[in-house]
Structure 1
Amino acid sequence: MISLSFFLGMLGPWQIVLIVVVVLLLFGGKKIPELMRGLGSGIKEFKDASKEDEKLEDKNGASS
């Protein structure tokens, strides 16, 4: 988390605007919500899988 705040601290407001404009030009306004939905569902699946993995580890650790 420290590296992300460090990276964002180096970007000024005009650099952020430029990045947003470039992303809009590359993907278009209609495609971005679809990409964000896909990213959100991917993160949700990852969290669910990691929770299942933790449950399996707890179950296997308790029985050993």
Structure 2
Amino acid sequence: MNLFVIAGMIGPWQIVIIVFVIVLLFGGKKIPELMKGLGQGMKEFKKATDLEDKDKDKDKESMDK
């Protein structure tokens, strides 16, 4: 149990190392493109889930009538 608690904590040095490795792997110019793609993907996912929720609400309203 104690090992899980220690391993689950991320400190500032771990974040610095992770960022450094990401920059080494992808390069400084590629990272903004990756983040832009990630943001667009999240936006599309949110839009799809919102549409799905609206469709469920419409179906529920039509069943109630």
Range class of TM-score, shorter chain: 0.7 to 0.9
Aligned residues: 56
Cα-Cα RMSD: 0.8
- CA–CA separation in structure 1 for the residues paired with 2:14 and 2:41: 28
Q: Structure 1 stretches (4+) deviating beyond 3 angstroms?
A: none
Give runs of aligned pairs for residues 49-60 of structure 1, distance below 5 A. Answer: 49-60=48-59
% identity of equivalent residues = 62
| Structure 1: gaps (5+ residues) | 1-6
Larger radius of gyration: 2
> Residues 24-49 of structure 1: CA distance to partner in whole angstroms, max 9, x if unpaired?
00000010000000000000000000
